[in-house]
């Protein structure tokens, strides 16, 4: 009798257990599982850096294509060669990719902020601090890259079903406040050794990265004092002065990945040919070609910098800080100091600072330049020093040098258009997307902000 009762109870227990309808998904972890455990949150930080590498690549690719940096290769789709001439239709894949990937980075950064906050005291404060600073910095940069390609953009997107677009001034202020949060976080609670060694991608220096981002967006906001202050905080020597993302096999560097195939682009030969012949930055970035041409028979060179699939991708070049500093000083009419900063970029030679960054190895400027000349020279050096970083487009905009669509075989200079059309992927599901911005009709031009 007892046996029967036991069996009945066991049977009941088994069948009730089998009846549970709350089944876990064994194939992918849920939001709760990832954001509530230290290991999950740490993995999220790695995922964020991976997404950042992708969105940064998409942004720089697009900016290079609508300026005088890149052109389509012969295998590329027609939309790539259209963009190279300044034509980007709404819904074009490469433009959608910019917007989609930037906001995926932003969402992952938001997830990381949520996760880091939820960890509380389960993990050492320096690690939490590092996670938060990383999330603030990469979210800010992703938004900053977006505002360099879109006239308006949503800045408040977490758990919002239909995000609202705001103008550049508001977005820029938001980006800078995020970067200030990152800087404060690092200053208040320095990131732990564990964070720096095991979470941050090897080769990235978080404090330097935050400061150069602060300088970059202060400059875009015409805040010379803040730009100068932040630029001065960027380390200039030693390997830690350079932050770059690494791609151990089987991962492939972004530029190497788009060299061939239907999204193929390559540096315009014009980039090298417009330099002084002795400028070493040409051979740093490209391998000279006399034969390679693109889809529109544009003369091209091949990559040297990204020739290897495993070549690291710099998050920034440290000399950007010097160029920002030079520009801020010039704007403050401190012309001698400005020229000195500029010359330190011009005269950077192999071995000079021990970094794998572009080195012009040119002579110093002989005479003190006037302010306008200085600014023009700064932008010339930015063109060569910051090749492929995406900053060229904003520089053209800032200098009112958008020159409109250029039909092949003519070669563009500066930039061919002002903004990207808004993403169809957003427009299809979000009534708050504004009408596409109107491109200027007479050139050279600045851009309606």
Residues that bind other proteins (CB under 8 A): 18-23, 25-31, 33-34, 40, 43-51, 53, 96, 99-100, 103-104, 106-108, 110-111, 154, 157, 160-163, 201-202, 245-248, 251, 423, 425-426, 428-430, 433
Nearer to other proteins, 45 or 326 (CB): 45
Nearer to other proteins, 320 or 426 (CB): 426
Nearer to other proteins, 147 or 324 (CB): 147
Q: Smallest distance, Å, CB 422 to other proteins?
A: 10
Q: Smallest distance, Å, CB 40 to other proteins?
A: 7
Nearer to other proteins, 91 or 446 (CB): 91
Q: Smallest distance, Å, CB 96 to other proteins?
A: 7
CA 280 – CA 245 distance, rounded (Å): 23
Nearer to other proteins, 232 or 430 (CB): 430
Nearer to other proteins, 3 or 23 (CB): 23
Q: Smallest distance, Å, CB 200 to other proteins?
A: 9
Q: In terms of DSSP bridges, do strands 286-287 and 302-303 run parallel, antiparallel, or are they unpaired?
A: antiparallel
**Quick one: how far is CA 332 from the chain centroid?**
28
Measure Cα distances from 358 to 58, 77, 243, 361, 383 in Å. Answer: 22, 31, 14, 9, 12
Buried b (16+ CB within 10 A) or exposed e, 112-130: bbbbbeebeeebbebbbbb
Per DSSP (E only), the strands in 74-168 are 153-154, 165-166
CA 234 – CA 243 distance, rounded (Å): 11
Across the strands, what pairs with 303?
286
Q: Smallest distance, Å, CB 123 to other proteins?
A: 17
Q: Smallest distance, Å, CB 158 to other proteins?
A: 8
Task: Name which of 25, 94, 107 is nearest 58 in CA terms.
Answer: 94
Q: Smallest distance, Å, CB 324 to other proteins?
A: 28
The helix (H) or strand (E) run that includes residue 71 is strand 70-72
CA 133 – CA 204 distance, rounded (Å): 13
- Contacts of residue 331, defined as CB under 8 A and 6 or more positions apart, other chains included, come to 222, 224
Nearer to other proteins, 88 or 342 (CB): 88
Nearer to other proteins, 25 or 290 (CB): 25
Nearer to other proteins, 336 or 435 (CB): 435
Nearer to other proteins, 154 or 358 (CB): 154
Sign of the CA dihedral with 55 first, then 61, 62, and 64 last = positive
Task: Name which of 389, 361, 362, 139 is nearest 243 in CA terms.
Answer: 389
Cβ atoms of residues 94 and 64 within 8 Å: no
Q: Is 266 helix (H, G, I), strand (E, B) or coil?
A: strand
CA 382 – CA 322 distance, rounded (Å): 10
Q: Smallest distance, Å, CB 187 to other proteins?
A: 26
Residue count (the chain): 449
Q: Smallest distance, Å, CB 265 to other proteins?
A: 20
Measure Cα distances from 105 to 27, 48, 108, 112, 370 in Å. Answer: 23, 6, 5, 10, 42
């Amino acid at each position: 009798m007892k046996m029967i009762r036991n069996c009945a109870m066991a049977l009941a227990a088994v069948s009730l257990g089998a009846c549970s309808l709350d089944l876990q998904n064994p194939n992918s972890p849920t939001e709760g599982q990832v954001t509530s455990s230290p290991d999950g949150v740490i993995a999220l930080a790695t995922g964020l850096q991976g997404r950042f590498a992708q969105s940064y690549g998409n942004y720089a690719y697009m900016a290079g294509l609508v300026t005088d940096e890149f052109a389509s290769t012969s295998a590329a789709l027609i939309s790539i060669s259209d963009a190279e001439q300044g034509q980007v239709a709404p819904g074009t894949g490469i433009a959608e990719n910019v917007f989609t990937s930037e906001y995926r980075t932003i969402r992952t950064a938001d997830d990381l902020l949520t996760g880091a906050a939820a960890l509380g005291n389960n993990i050492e404060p320096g690690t939490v601090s590092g996670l938060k600073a990383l999330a603030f910095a990469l979210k800010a940069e992703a938004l900053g890259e977006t505002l360099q390609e879109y006239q308006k953009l949503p800045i408040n997107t977490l758990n919002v079903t239909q995000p609202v677009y705001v103008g550049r001034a508001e977005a820029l202020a938001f980006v800078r406040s995020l970067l200030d949060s990152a800087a404060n976080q690092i200053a208040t609670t320095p990131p732990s050794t564990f964070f720096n060694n095991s979470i941050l991608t090897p080769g990235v220096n978080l404090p330097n990265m935050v400061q150069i981002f602060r300088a970059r967006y202060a400059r875009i906001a015409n805040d010379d004092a803040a730009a100068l202050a932040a630029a001065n905080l960027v380390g200039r020597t030693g390997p830690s002065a350079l932050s770059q993302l690494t791609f151990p096999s089987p991962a492939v560097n972004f530029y190497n990945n788009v060299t061939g195939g239907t999204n193929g682009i390559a540096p315009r030969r014009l980039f090298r040919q417009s330099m002084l012949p002795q400028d070493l930055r040409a051979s740093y970035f490209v391998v000279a070609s006399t034969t390679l041409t693109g889809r529109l028979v544009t003369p091209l060179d091949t990559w040297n910098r990204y020739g290897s699939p495993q070549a690291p991708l710099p998050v920034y070049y440290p000399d950007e800080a010097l160029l920002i500093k030079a520009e801020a000083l010039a704007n403050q009419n401190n012309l001698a100091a400005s020229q000195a900063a500029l010359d330190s970029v011009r005269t950077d030679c192999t071995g000079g600072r021990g970094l794998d960054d572009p080195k012009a190895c040119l002579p110093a400027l002989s005479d003190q330049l006037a302010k306008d000349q200085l600014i023009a020279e700064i932008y010339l050096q930015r063109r060569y020093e910051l090749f492929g970083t995406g900053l060229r487009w904003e520089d053209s905009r800032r200098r009112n040098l958008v020159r409109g669509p250029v039909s092949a075989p003519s070669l563009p200079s500066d930039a061919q258009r002002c903004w990207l059309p808004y993403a169809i992927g957003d427009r299809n599901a979000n009534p708050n997307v504004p009408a596409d911005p109107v491109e200027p009709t007479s050139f050279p031009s600045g851009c309606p902000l």
